[in-house]
Amino acid sequence: MNLTATIAINRPAADVFDYVMEVPHDAQWRSGVVEASFTSDGPIGVGTTGFDRIEANGRSMVSSWTVFEYEPGILARWTLDSGPIRGTGGYICEEAGDDTRFTLEAHVKPTGWYRLLGPIFGRIGRRQNLADVQRLKTLLEHTT
């Protein structure tokens, strides 16, 4: 299921990339994320690991992830290794004139009872990711 969302942000690509790669910032712009952190030491790159703790519908879920592709200032992609959703995600920052074209990639397969929700899960996920990139745009464009 593809839940990818893209938006133009009026900030340099390096600023956008640096912000989203500070994983604890996820709680400021991603729906339901209450905590996010790296679980590995050292600079971000292929093999970096981390987790997100998400609260939704009165439930708390933890998803772990591992970076499998990384180009500083441009893109990061990861696998979702545990939690109710499996698949891959990523952030891509592309210069677009004075703006940055930011893409939140999400190619996922729900597990457990989420699988039973099928198309409903897809619609909710797409809507949530569109709201998340809009929240990121607002946050970054109003921060000096």
- CATH code, domain with 37: 3.30.530.20
Q: Quick one: pLDDT at residue 116? A: 67
* Domain hosting residue 50, numbered range: 5-141
Could you give the number of structural domains in the chain? 1
Number of Cβ atoms within 10 Å of the Cβ of 62: 12
pLDDT < 50 stretches in the chain:
none
Question: Structure pTM?
Answer: 0.90
Q: Quick one: pLDDT at residue 113? A: 65
> Residue 67's closest CA among 58, 76, 59, 75?
76
Whole-angstrom distance, CA of residue 49 vs CA of residue 40: 5
- 106 near 125, Cβ under 8 Å? yes
Q: Quick one: pLDDT at residue 138? A: 97
Whole-angstrom distance, CA of residue 126 vs CA of residue 96: 23
H-state helical runs in 21-101? 26-29
